[in-house]
Chain A
Amino acid sequence: MAIVYALILVLGLVLFAWVGIQGLGMTYLFGVVFPYTAMVIFFLGVLARLLKWSRIPNPFSIPTTGGQQRSLHWIKPAGMDNPFTRGQSLLRLLSEVFLFRSLFRNLSLRLADQKPQLTFSSAKWLWLFAIFFHYALFVTLFRHLRFFTNPVPWPVNMAETLDGWLEVGIPQILVSGLILLLAVTLLLARRLLIPKLRYISLLNDYFPLFLLIGIAGTGALMRYVLGIDANSAKQLAMGLISFKPVVPEGTGPLFFVHLFLVCILLAYFPFSKLMHAGGIFFSPTRTMPNNSRAVYHQNPWNYPVNFHTYRSYENEFHDKMVEAGIPLDETAPPLNGKD
């Protein structure tokens, strides 16, 4: 059901934008008001969330260790998987952010049919889809900078040239956009086809996927099928970024649908699981070094507890300890004992 609702939701959003533009001609609303609102929500929302997280303490040092610890000098420690220094844990974090290292470990499980037996094998599909998806997303976003800059900086131009390495099609095919679309579709297919995943998936999981398909899909439609006036799009983008908003003619309704879906994604981002992008930098099991025995880690809200003291222990077991010849604390006064 969740998937149907998510699909309806995204289709509804598309329809909403279409009607708004085609039927009601509200280009200013969709071209200026919504983008600004979405950006404000995005920046403030993300900032608020990051601030909230950063204010909560890490009371204990709880890194998940993925390799040999640093102990005796002749045993080689696993620096990155079991970081001891801050530098090493930074390296570990970066390997998670850029390479999805933990996901790379993924294993799949096989239950033998006939006899009770389990076997495991490496399963890198999820990792591969995830890498394709995120890097394609990144390159696509980066390329979009050409709409927001004048003159376009050379790295953006270069990205576009590299991205067109296939050198086919008019307009030239940009690989990242298509990979993005493909990878998101594969991630969605995964959710649908693997029973475990279907079981745990919520509206919150399908919605961003459909939204991304919508965004990448309308983008591809504009570029390859219907075509749009890229200059008007740039005019609008430049207007937004320079706080002198203009709504140029000739961008066409599809562009506004594309833009509207992006606005929704931006506004949705801070309140959703998409915040994993920021959260990973705060995840204690991946960010903290494993040096808790070497370096004192303080808990800001630590409080004293009334533990059972030796004195009351000795008081209680005094006689038995004497009898067993267990030395007593000299400073403790002899109590109900026989000695």
Chain B
Amino acid sequence: MSNHLPEPEELARIHLDMSASGWMDTPAVLREGMYCHGVQGKNIEAVGMPNPRDWRVEDDDWQLPEDWHHIVMEGLKERLHRFRSLQIFMDICVRCGACADKCHFFIGSGDPKNMPVLRAELLRSVYRYDFTRAGRIMGKMVGARKLTKAVIREWWYYFFQCSECRRCSLFCPYGIDTAEITILGRELLNLLGLNIDWIGAAVAKCHHVGNHIGMEPQTFKESILFLCDDIQEITGIKIDPSFNRKGAEILFVTSSGDFYADPGIFTCMGYLMLFHQLGLDYTWSTYAAEGGNFGLFTSHEVAKLLNAKMYAEAERLGVKFILGGECGHMWRVIHQYMGTLNGPAGFLETPVSPITGTRFDHAASTKAVHICEFTSDLVHENKINLDPSRNDHLRVTFHDSCNVARGMGLLEEPRYLINKACNHFYEMPEETIRERTFCCGSGAGLHAGEDMELRMRGGYPRANAVRNVRELHDVNTLACICAIDRAAFPALMDYWVPDVRVTGVHELLGNALIMDGECERTVDLRGEELPTGPAKQSAEDVSLRNAVDIPEGA
């Protein structure tokens, strides 16, 4: 953690009043703890991006290329011709302010330039100056200004204080999506070699080795097998998953967070157990191991570059469709971008669940199914048995990840699963869930260590809502379906709401899943004692109960 991280009480003293001078006259001060390290030269080079060099944010000279101004202007012009979103969003904002206090970074920091409307104005002001006559003539009065190196610094600071969560877009009467502006703004910065290293390093590794953390094929296999050992210890069942296997029916892809770090690995164990219990004909891939896509946080081109492997691998292995794990931005990419970027995937088939026969027509083109859709269908068709009492020590609430909430609409499936796998589920206040969900504060590649203050500030509204259900219902578990959430929330909870654990939905499911031939479970997937006592029933009772259970919505 950053040494400068203030105490929660101090951090929570937020002032939402505006500075006396206008925003254009208030230079951006890059405050330590609120930004990430600049990208290293080798990581820029690894994907063939411009201006590779080592630079430090603290330096006065960011070593921009000679013709940086021209590069940005041409880049902006090109994007205005390529993205209707950008042109429209530059033109039609009325500054009604509806988006202003919807951003968790503004709420948590009080910095006016974190109001989505102002974040967008940072770019819009330059657009006005260079692309509109009134802006050129009237200047500051109509919100126009020249692009200077100071503006570049300001862009960098604030475009990397946006987690591309789209909450602002939901509330804007015209749907102006500041996330889109940030995405394109970051593209412009990347033309100058101004990424952050937390993203740049992940991109470089993913491109070259196949996942964000640079796990080589043998290590990847080892870590999955390691999880299988743990499963065997807990359930007595030996699982033997396959890797890079041609002819498998399904290619399973999830984010690296799920196979490498606590608590993601427990979710991964859940997947492994479920697939084993089903006897699913699936394979992992060491080459297209990464579901997450930090390219989205870099540029559309890099997003395409990294995403291309998923289809290439599916085609090489000859699978029928792709099943994707619990991850937020991975699913924004798969759902809204993948088909367009690297499709159409004519070599795959419309996904059909081999267990239930359900055809996932809503994925007929992209041929990728979300694990929560897949599992909800299984539960609904009574193909698996669950003993929710094994999760009785958990009082659970659920965080909707921004990307799947506002860039897809996967809201009911995870709730359905949690309700089937747990007996104690409580929703956070309604203004903070579903499509109105608050970001974890670390999305879009911001979950580094050096920007901890930014993360704690940005995550404050979410943490505040968790504390609400902790106080009301004694909630001790925060469930989510996103690998970045699972990486980011433990620190956020420690800071704001101690003693709340973070879990994936398929970890809860793995706990509750009754497997054929398993020994009596005494510990959960984390090796913690299971609750005992009168509430605990034998597996037989439960399967009987599940069998007569009338599914919701039937």
Chain A residues proximal to chain B, CB less than 8 Å: 1-2, 5, 49, 52-53, 56-62, 64-72, 74-78, 81-82, 84, 96, 100, 102-103, 105-109, 111, 115-118, 120, 126, 130, 194-205, 271, 273, 275-276, 279-280, 282-286, 290-299, 301-302, 305-310, 313-314, 317, 320-321, 323-327, 329
Contact = CB atoms under 8 A, between A and B. Distances in A.
Nearest to B206: A308
Contact of A74 (B132, B221, B551): B551
B339 interface: yes
A326 B244 contact: yes
B101 A109 contact: yes
Given A66-B435, A196-B100, A320 B362 contact: no
A205 B100 CA distance: 16
Nearest to A312: B208
Nearest to A272: B134
Interface stretch (B260-268, B299-307, B419-427): B299-307
Contacts of B243: 326-327
Contact of A292 (B115, B335, B405): B335
CB-CB nearest 9 A-B residue pairs? A116-B12, A69-B409, A279-B92, A285-B175, A324-B218, A286-B175, A65-B409, A307-B308, A120-B431
A337 B170 CA distance: 54
Nearest to A5: B141
A271 B91 CA distance: 9
Best-surrounded residue of B134, B334, B340 (most CB of chain A within 10 A): B340
Contacts of A297: 339-340
Contact of B97 (A76, A118, A197, A326): A197
Contacts of B347: none
Contacts of B177: 62, 64, 285
Nearest to A118: B464
A62 B85 contact: yes
Contact of B221 (A198, A308, A324): A324
Interface bracket on B: 35 or more
B143 A293 contact: no
A271 B132 contact: yes
B35 to A, nearest CB: 23
A310 B286 CA distance: 10
A64 B175 contact: yes
A273 B107 contact: no
B194 interface: no
Interface stretch (B15-23, B146-154, B391-399): B15-23
Contact of A58 (B84, B121, B218, B411): B84
Contacts of A100: 173
B87 A53 contact: yes
Given A118-B461, A195-B18, A326-B286, A68 B343 contact: no
Q: Determine the main DSSP class of B at the interface with A.
A: helix
B363 A327 contact: no
Nearest to B416: A75
Interface string B373-391: 1001100100000000000
A72 B312 CA distance: 28
B287 interface: yes
Interface string B305-317: 1101100110010
A50 to B, nearest CB: 11
B16 A327 contact: no
B547 to A, nearest CB: 18
B94 A276 contact: yes
A56 B9 CA distance: 49
B461 to A, nearest CB: 6
B313 A310 contact: yes
A77 B223 CA distance: 38
Contacts of A294: 361-366
A283 B88 contact: yes
Contacts of B37: none
A308 B406 contact: no
Contacts of B93: 273, 276
B25 to A, nearest CB: 11
